[in-house]
Structure 1
Amino acid sequence: MRLHHLQIRAFGPFGGTEAIDFDALGAHGLFLMHGATGSGKTTVLDAVCFALFAAVPGARRSQTERLVSDHAQPGTSPEVRLEFTVAQRRLRITRSPKHLVTKKRGHGQTPRQAKVLLEERLAGRWTALSTRADETAEILDDLIGLGLDQFAQVVLLPQGEFAAFLRAKADDRAALLQRLFDISRFADLETWLADRRRTVRAQVTENDRAIHTSVVRAEESLVDLAPQIEQWRGLPVDALPAAVTEAAAATSTRLSEAMALTERTATALDAAVRTHEQADALLGLQRKGAAAAATWAQWEAQDDERASAEGVLAAHRRAARVMPSVRAAERAAVRHRTAGETAAPVRASLEAAGIADPDQGTRLLADGREPLSQALEADRGARLAEQQLPARNTAVETARTAVGTLATTRTRLDERLVVLTTTITTARQTSQGAADLQHRKALLDEWRGSTATLRDAERRDARAVERVTETARRYAEAEAEVIDLRTRRLAGFAGELALGLRPGAPCPVCGSAEHPRPASSAAGVGADDVAAAEQVARSAADAHRAAEREQTAARTTVVALAERQASLAEQWAALTGASLEPSNLTTLQSDLATQLDDVARARQVLAAAEQEHAALEARRLDLEQEQRRSEQAVLQATAERDSLRQALQDAVDRRAEALSRHREVCACARPSADTAADHPTDDPALAHRRHRDLEQLLERWTTVSHQVAATQQSLAEARTELDRQLEDEGFSGVEQARAALLSTAAEAELVAQLRSARDAAQQARGVLDQPDVVAAMAADPADPAGALALRREAQSADRQAREQFAGAKRAAASLERLAADVDRLLAESRADRESLPVLDRVADLTTGAGDNQLRMRLSAYVLAARLEQVTTLANHQLEVMSAGRYRLEHTDAKAKGGARSGLGLHVRDSWTGTARDTATLSGGETFMVSLALALALGEAVLHDAGGRPLETLLVDEGFGSLDDESLELVMQVLDDLRSGGRTVGIVSHVSELRSRVPAQIRVHKTEQGSRVEVHVGDASSAA
């Protein structure tokens, strides 16, 4: 990696814009950066780190918000731009940190987010690769191969940290090495082994706990085995299966004995139960027979009482048959009396109305019904016409008002149609350029996509060029190997011929039989060797040709894409008259999006306006039709109103005529003049009600008169039937029959007594006739109490035997379950129990415990190997800087007091032949050793991380501690580092270096902020 150019603006102490040309400084191979304390030398190094990693190294990493310069002019945005080469790619990155800017409107400040732009130099111009922070970080990580901490240690070489590294304890050294070397896989292995051991041990412990829990659960049903279980608690889990098996055997014997005893007690209990049941049955039969005999004797002694009760019950039943006729005669008398009482007021009402003869009044009212109906009909017509006439007047006025309203609405509608026509015309003009804008958008989208595709194709082309170069080198090496083998093959032919020469035999070349100096037969090259080398050369040639074809295809793709981009740019220029560049792509897309949004809004307005215009046109047609209908409605409503007025007059005339005829008829039905004042005159409703009342009164009289006659007939028939019923049942009158009646409760009680006595006697006779009762009465008295005592003794013995059997059975089942649980749990944990000792040993070894004599963790062991490698590399530089006096030695001796081992450092002094602690070095010696260590550590980190070769190094401070001779040796080492085009920068206050190093970066601090001057040789340029 090589730095080319750095530009800083409003960053740290630099308020303005400062630039550093590393290419000009690199022409000398070595340059010096110096300045007053606090001027900003470290900020220059921070700017390089910030450009590459968006952060600054060390303790300043948490102060990124302070990167913005306090000396910058208002409105100046902080920015760092770094141009560099890595992996043969020329890149330029521009970063701006998050910062605050003054609001354009109002007061206060508003935040601006961080920005980044990564570009690559392709075909003579800068092409954007990414503007996203995550994508940029991914690209740079792939190319540089180092993180921020590693870059700060390897490229910037902070000597102060390495001096502290020399004097640090092992744990502090480990912390630095862990930041630089990726040992996460070894640390992960330590963690995994520790976690695995902890997990397996927890699983075994949990399994042991489950086994002991099973023993405790079994203890509840193994009370008799409490002593054995107490002993089991002290046994290891592996010994439990044998103990449980032994207890199960003893329990099985006890179970067999309990089973035999249970069978014997059960037989004895069955016999006792049968004896007790027989005694209870005999006692019951004897008691049953005695009760039946007593009942039968009582039945025979109550014959007279039963006969009297049965006579009373018979008289009651005869009287009950007469009572329906009595009640029927009483009901008929009540109905006849009620009918007479109802007819009397009706007759009085007829006489009051002047109707002496109801039949004549009925005929006269029938004759007056038709003219009265005609008068009522005419009256309803007149009233209806009077009610409808105001509505008809209102309808006429409403129709006239609707005609006026419709005319006003139509005028407003015409005005809105004029406005919509103007809006539609404007929107159509705005949307006419949509096709051209869409074409421009398509061009921009294709340009952007082809740009990314072109970058990918150029990267493939660059990789293809690298492969062509590599395959050409391999092909040349293979060809050179073939030529070398062939040459050696030819040179060895003489030796091969000499091997076949025999004394006296002619030489196959010269024919001489003497062979004074035969060629030596050194190990030559065989034909197979030459053939194998030729095959390798052919394979290399094939690979080279394939790489060339791949390069040609990639180059063709790049050319085609470049031509397409040029064509797109020409089309854009033809459309817009402006050039298409990546720098203004975002602005063009934003402007185009705004124009497309305007067109979209215009189209929406156009669609809405056209839709509303069509709706209003349809509405205008509807209004025209509605207005015509309203005008017709005015004419129709006027005609209906006039017709209704004529109908009203006709109805009034018909009503007067009909009332006159009704009065003539009704006057014949009123023979008395004293009621003339009540006669209706001109009101048909009053006349109708009077007429209807008279008709209803006559209908009522007809009904009640018929009821009186009917009830008289019913009463006579009921009395005749009652006299016949009394005679048939043997009663002299109604009172005698009533006296023979019983209440319902008395009757039921008497019937129940007779039935109960008869049923009891019949049941007693049946019991006395049963053979088992006869036999029981003849037998001796039963003794169930003695039989019950014997039964209880047998039950107690059987219960005890069964309890013993159940306990033995539960114990056997519990032991069986316990044995199964223990065997299952031990089987489940067998693999863990077998692997736990191995895990313990391996985990102890990786964590520095147990048999690990050096008490060195695996990660520490790896770091120790890295430190040993770094020490070997550092000694190459240290021998030169110390004139061969000092060498670093790595030691993995066990540290005292349990400290970390494997990271010890000693320095060996060849003058004294002794090794001593690095803390005993002087200041200048410490600087030389730490510089050598820093250079070696950087090389080791690059090798471990797969990073790119570093062509720019910056050495920070420490030269002031060297004497002249040591400084000369150190400068010699730095001169050696410049070989191969490498640029080395020194950050130092040592004044002697300013005369020895012509290329310099001078950093000046002022009240207005720091500034940078770059001096190359005798010429200087203020940047």
Structure 2
Amino acid sequence: MKPLKIKISAFGPYKTCIDIDFEMLGESGIFLITGDTGAGKTTIFDSISFALFGEVSGSNRPVPSVRSDFADNDTETFVELEFTHKNKKYKIRRNPAYERTKKRGEGTTKTSADASLEYDDKVISGTKNVDIKIEEILGINSKQFKQISMLAQGEFLKILFAESKDRTEIFRRIFDTDIYNQIAKRLADKTRIAKAELEQLKDYFAINSSNIVWKDGIQSVQPKDVNELFIQEILEKLQQEIKINSEQFEKCQEQISKQSDENSKIEKEIMAQKDKNDKIDRCQKLQEEQKVLQEKQEDIKQKEILIQKSQEIINKILPKEDKKKELEKEISQKQKVLQDISEKIELGKKKEEKFKQILELIEIIKVQFQKYSELKDGKTELEDKIKKLQVIIKEQENKKIASENAQKLEVEWEKLSTEVLEKEKEFFKEQAGILAEKLKENEPCPVCGSLHHPNLAIKSTSVLTKEELDNLKEKEEKSRKTLTDATNKVTEINSKIETLIKEFGEKPDVELYNKKYLEISEELEKAYNQLNDNYKQIMLKDIVIESFEYDIFKEKITNKISKEREEFLKLQTQQEENKKQIDELLQKQEKAQNDYQNTLKELGFENEEQYKKSVLNNLQIEIFSKEIEKYKTDVTINATKLEEIQKEIKGFEKVDLTAKIQEFNNKKQKLEDMRKQQMEYHRIFENNNRILVDLQTNSKKLDSKIKEFTMVEDLSKIANGTVYGKRRIEFEQFVQASYFDMVIIEANKRLLKMTDNRFLLVRKESSERVSDKIGLELEVIDNYNGKRRDVKSLSGGEAFKAALSLALGLSDVIQSYSGGIVVDTMFIDEGFGSLDTESREQAINTLNQLTDNHKLIGIISHVTELKERIDKKIIVTKSTEGSKITVES
């Protein structure tokens, strides 16, 4: 990549748009970027880096801060770069995101970051799209570009003098070797995990082995005892123990089977005799039941006679009694209906009277409602007047506040105006001191041209700088504008008050209108309460006072009175008909009562009471009938069962089974004890067999885990440089050492030329102690005496040559590992001030050799001798209005 032209606008120290034509510097060779400290020399490289990748070179220069502090509000911040790459032209334009003061109004406005790339009649827009395309075209990213194209003295001196530990960090950043460091860490982590898993398996083996049930009891096992020999021995012993467990179980099973057969035989004998005894007992019980049934036979016959006699009497009297009760029930129902009708008639009379009272109240409410409406309208009119009055009062208060604020702002402005005049006078008096500040020995004075400045004017510490004075003027101008705005606001409010009073139409008297409003509010409340009381009397709880409609409500009440009157007449008719029906039923009831009494006398009863006592009622007849039926059933069943059981027990004798049952229970307990013993044998067998299978399975896991741990531990020791008795070099350092060797080879090509073949850089490969980390220490061979020595022993100029050679070598290696990318332009920042004339010439000659392949090298320096030695220059001039650039070719 070779820059052709660049435009830098409002970027860093550059206030306006600066154009640099690199084509004026030629196709190749060295050019100088010179100027005062802080003028913006390195910013030229920053602008190239920003245009390409959206990033600047320094880690302490964030992108959002690149907008120039000198820039005018209208000046846009951007960088536009034209460059060639592989004989193809490109133009890229990029601006950062930044804030600037609004052109109108107060506050700031934001400009979003953007970028565009033009080549081959194509245009790519958008920051992300341009970033992707630039990396695709150049084949390197921002970080690699800075490492290859920008050699800063501070950075490459760090590489030269760094300790092995620090150089590891530098190379990790440059060559992205952290992946090898992470591999070493991962191996260390895997070693810890594998060790923990191995210990866990050993713990598991120890716990399982301790749970084995031996014939001599349980034996405790510790994890430290677990090894391959231990596992082999315990597996063999456990298999023997399980065989013994199995034999014990089989023997116990035979004993249980024999005892179980014996118990079954005894149990059958007991059950057979018990069945005979039960049948003999059952026969005796049936004989006793038969005797009881025979004793009850006479009582049952008497109950049968009583039931028959009672049913004959009831059949004659019951129809007469039912007729009498039916008439009594009907009369009772008719009398209840008559009572309900009478109550409804009385209630209707009361409702009619209430509706008449409501009609009278409606007339009163009509008058009250008219008065209430008039008062309400009057109150609304007063409220409108009071609202207008309140607006006038509020504006008068605003006027007072605005006037006080304007007076305060006027005092502040007068104070600032006086201060500006005084500070401006002091500033112009101190210009000689400001000019003297910039003068340097052996540089001509812009006023008299003298190279020596023995008596410099002294700048007063109390005088403001040009920037501070401008800030003070800006503050005074803002104060004046604020005062004008405040005065205009007072005038505006005053005009508004006059308009409002004119619209009000009379003198604004707050006290008078408040008094009127209070009086009419009291009258309105009184009228409302009267209406509300009358509404409650006519039961209009849900009617809103303002929506009361007199005519509709009156018509509604009148209709209700008419309906109640119609209902009243209808009820009177029903009442007369009901009384007539009751009289007819009473006559029928009297006749039925006479028939009932005559039938009682015919059957020989003097009255109803005698009849009830002599005859069974229906419930008693039902109870006696069920009792008789049950008795007959019981007699039949008893006779049948007794006949059957007597046939079965013929030849049976009752035997006492107590001794036989006791013998059976003893043998049953013996069998239970045998089964418990068998279960214990089975539990031990299952436990030991489970442990055997588990140990056999996990012995393979243990063997595998031991091999895994051994392998991972060995790899971790190698990668982390902790192999016992070996030199300590970690995996990442080993990779970095390979890169370092290539860098040193390339660096020595330049260093030998710049030092007349005296110095040669070499990597230190040994240490006095085995425990020391080695790999990235750097030494120098002095060919004048053939001795090695530390690079820190080099003088300032020698160190610069070595550091520059190292940086150039590093750039070459990075380019070779970036797909063979060739960067046609390189910048070297400072460092030449420490060289003598001969060394400086050697360094420049070395750099000139680099430019043979159409490479352009820019040296950023303010060393005076370089200005005389190098013809092509970019001169950066610093001023109070921002920096400017001129190009000399």
TM-score normalised by length of structure 1: 0.56
Moved more, 236-245 or 132-141: 236-245
User: Among 150, 158, 165, which residue is 1:156 paired with?
Assistant: 150
Q: Given that residues 49 and 148 in structure 1 are in contact (C-alpha distance below 8 angstroms), is that contact kept between their aligned partners in structure 2? A: yes
Alignment correspondent of 1:992: 865
Give the Cα separation in 1 of the matches to 2:599 and 2:264. 81
Matches within 5 A, 1:88-237: 88-120=87-119, 122=120, 127-183=121-177, 186-187=180-181, 189-190=183-184, 193=187, 227-228=218-219, 230=221, 234-236=225-227
User: Among 616, 624, 629, which residue is 1:747 paired with?
Assistant: 624
Residue type matched to 1:101 in 2? R
Give the Cα separation in 1 of the matches to 2:309 and 2:71. 137
Q: Given that residues 33 and 873 in structure 2 are in contact (C-alpha distance below 8 angstroms), is that contact kept between their aligned partners in structure 1? A: yes
Matches within 5 A, 1:734-883: 739=614, 741=616, 743=620, 747=624, 751=628, 754=631, 758=635, 762=639, 765-766=642-643, 769-772=646-649, 775-776=651-652, 778-779=653-654, 781-784=655-658, 786-826=659-699, 834-850=707-723, 853-883=726-756
Give the Cα separation in 1 of the matches to 2:661 and 2:331. 86
Q: Given that residues 324 and 592 in structure 2 are in contact (C-alpha distance below 8 angstroms), is that contact kept between their aligned partners in structure 1? A: no
For the residue of structure 1 that corresponds to 2:862, the secondary structure is: coil
Structure 1 residues 283 and 994: alpha-carbon distance in aligned structure 2, compared to 1, 3 A threshold: same
Q: Structure 1 residue 163: deviation in Å?
A: 1.4
Alignment correspondent of 2:302: 311
Q: Given that residues 269 and 791 in structure 1 are in contact (C-alpha distance below 8 angstroms), is that contact kept between their aligned partners in structure 2? A: yes
Residue type matched to 2:862 in 1? H
Alignment correspondent of 1:6: 6
Q: Deviations over 1:328-358 (max 9, x none)?
A: 1334566799999999xxxxxxxxxxxxxxx
Give the Cα separation in 1 of the matches to 2:614 and 2:45. 140
Give the Cα separation in 1 of the matches to 2:769 and 2:882. 52
Give the Cα separation in 2 of the matches to 1:187 and 1:762. 108
Structure 1 residues 737 and 721: alpha-carbon distance in aligned structure 2, compared to 1, 3 A threshold: closer
Alignment correspondent of 2:800: 927
Structure 1 residues 318 and 224: alpha-carbon distance in aligned structure 2, compared to 1, 3 A threshold: farther
Q: Alignment length, in residue pairs?
A: 652
Give the Cα separation in 2 of the matches to 1:337 and 1:974. 142
Give the Cα separation in 1 of the matches to 2:864 and 2:333. 151
For the residue of structure 2 that corresponds to 1:60, the secondary structure is: coil
Matches within 5 A, 1:548-587: none
Structure 1 residues 209 and 886: alpha-carbon distance in aligned structure 2, compared to 1, 3 A threshold: same
Give the Cα separation in 2 of the matches to 1:891 and 1:322. 143
User: Among 916, 939, 954, which residue is 2:812 paired with?
Assistant: 939
Alignment correspondent of 1:951: 824
Alignment correspondent of 1:323: 314
Give the Cα separation in 2 of the matches to 1:976 and 1:113. 44
Q: Deviations over 1:414-465 (max 9, x none)?
A: xxxxxxxxxxxxxxxxxxxxxxxxxxxxxxxxxxxxxxxxxxxxxxxxxxxx
Q: Structure 1 residue 850: deviation in Å?
A: 3.0
User: Which has more radius of gyration?
Assistant: 1
Q: Structure 1 residue 90: deviation in Å?
A: 1.4
Matches within 5 A, 1:268-283: 268-278=262-272, 280-281=274-275, 283=277
Give the Cα separation in 2 of the matches to 1:95 and 1:341. 111
Structure 1 residues 71 and 941: alpha-carbon distance in aligned structure 2, compared to 1, 3 A threshold: same
Q: Structure 1 residue 271: deviation in Å?
A: 3.8
Q: Given that residues 844 and 850 in structure 1 are in contact (C-alpha distance below 8 angstroms), is that contact kept between their aligned partners in structure 2? A: yes
Q: Deviations over 1:475-503 (max 9, x none)?
A: xxxxxxxxxxxxxxxxxxxxxxxxxxxxx
Q: Given that residues 906 and 915 in structure 1 are in contact (C-alpha distance below 8 angstroms), is that contact kept between their aligned partners in structure 2? A: yes
Alignment correspondent of 1:266: 260
User: Is the aligned partner of 1:1012 residue 2:885?
Assistant: yes
Give the Cα separation in 2 of the matches to 1:887 and 1:826. 60
Structure 1 residues 211 and 106: alpha-carbon distance in aligned structure 2, compared to 1, 3 A threshold: farther
Give the Cα separation in 2 of the matches to 1:929 and 1:66. 35
Alignment correspondent of 2:842: 969
Q: Deviations over 1:344-403 (max 9, x none)?
A: xxxxxxxxxxxxxxxxxxxxxxxxxxxxxxxxxxxxxxxxxxxxxxxxxxxxxxxxxxxx
Structure 1 residues 234 and 280: alpha-carbon distance in aligned structure 2, compared to 1, 3 A threshold: farther
Q: Structure 1 residue 258: deviation in Å?
A: 1.9
Q: Structure 1 residue 880: deviation in Å?
A: 0.8
Q: Given that residues 1002 and 1012 in structure 1 are in contact (C-alpha distance below 8 angstroms), is that contact kept between their aligned partners in structure 2? A: yes
For the residue of structure 2 that corresponds to 1:70, the secondary structure is: coil
Give the Cα separation in 1 of the matches to 2:11 and 2:116. 17
Residue type matched to 1:172 in 2? D
Residue type matched to 2:32 in 1? L
Q: Structure 1 residue 992: deviation in Å?
A: 1.5
Residue type matched to 2:719 in 1? T
Residue type matched to 2:97 in 1? K
Q: Given that residues 339 and 711 in structure 1 are in contact (C-alpha distance below 8 angstroms), is that contact kept between their aligned partners in structure 2? A: no
Q: Structure 1 residue 752: deviation in Å?
A: 8.1
- Which stretches in structure 1 are left out of the alignment for 5+ residues? 344-684, 1017-1023
Alignment correspondent of 1:406: none
Give the Cα separation in 1 of the matches to 2:578 and 2:631. 63
Give the Cα separation in 1 of the matches to 2:51 and 2:801. 30
- Which stretches in structure 2 are left out of the alignment for 5+ residues? 335-565
Structure 1 residues 712 and 17: alpha-carbon distance in aligned structure 2, compared to 1, 3 A threshold: closer
For the residue of structure 2 that corresponds to 1:90, the secondary structure is: strand
Give the Cα separation in 2 of the matches to 1:7 and 1:328. 132
Matches within 5 A, 1:503-542: none
Residue type matched to 1:110 in 2? T
Give the Cα separation in 2 of the matches to 1:833 and 1:745. 97
Structure 1 residues 252 and 188: alpha-carbon distance in aligned structure 2, compared to 1, 3 A threshold: same
Structure 1 residues 246 and 693: alpha-carbon distance in aligned structure 2, compared to 1, 3 A threshold: closer
Residue type matched to 1:322 in 2? I
Give the Cα separation in 1 of the matches to 2:814 and 2:3. 19
Alignment correspondent of 2:425: none
Give the Cα separation in 1 of the matches to 2:570 and 2:112. 101
Give the Cα separation in 2 of the matches to 1:154 and 1:336. 128
Q: Given that residues 11 and 68 in structure 1 are in contact (C-alpha distance below 8 angstroms), is that contact kept between their aligned partners in structure 2? A: yes
Q: Deviations over 1:584-637 (max 9, x none)?
A: xxxxxxxxxxxxxxxxxxxxxxxxxxxxxxxxxxxxxxxxxxxxxxxxxxxxxx
Identity of aligned residues (%): 22
Alignment correspondent of 1:66: 65
Alignment correspondent of 1:257: 251
Give the Cα separation in 2 of the matches to 1:115 and 1:852. 59
Q: Structure 1 residue 943: deviation in Å?
A: 0.3
Structure 1 residues 838 and 332: alpha-carbon distance in aligned structure 2, compared to 1, 3 A threshold: closer
Residue type matched to 2:36 in 1? A
Q: Structure 1 residue 315: deviation in Å?
A: 2.2
Q: Given that residues 717 and 723 in structure 2 are in contact (C-alpha distance below 8 angstroms), is that contact kept between their aligned partners in structure 1? A: yes
Q: Structure 1 residue 766: deviation in Å?
A: 4.1
Q: Structure 1 residue 288: deviation in Å?
A: 3.9
Structure 1 residues 64 and 815: alpha-carbon distance in aligned structure 2, compared to 1, 3 A threshold: same
For the residue of structure 1 that corresponds to 2:60, the secondary structure is: helix
Structure 1 residues 329 and 995: alpha-carbon distance in aligned structure 2, compared to 1, 3 A threshold: closer
Give the Cα separation in 2 of the matches to 1:895 and 1:824. 51
Structure 1 residues 721 and 927: alpha-carbon distance in aligned structure 2, compared to 1, 3 A threshold: same
Give the Cα separation in 2 of the matches to 1:801 and 1:342. 86
Give the Cα separation in 2 of the matches to 1:342 and 1:839. 107
User: Is the aligned partner of 1:902 residue 2:775?
Assistant: yes
Alignment correspondent of 2:32: 32
Q: Given that residues 279 and 782 in structure 1 are in contact (C-alpha distance below 8 angstroms), is that contact kept between their aligned partners in structure 2? A: no
Structure 1 residues 183 and 768: alpha-carbon distance in aligned structure 2, compared to 1, 3 A threshold: closer
Q: Given that residues 317 and 596 in structure 2 are in contact (C-alpha distance below 8 angstroms), is that contact kept between their aligned partners in structure 1? A: no
For the residue of structure 2 that corresponds to 1:227, the secondary structure is: coil
Residue type matched to 2:45 in 1? L
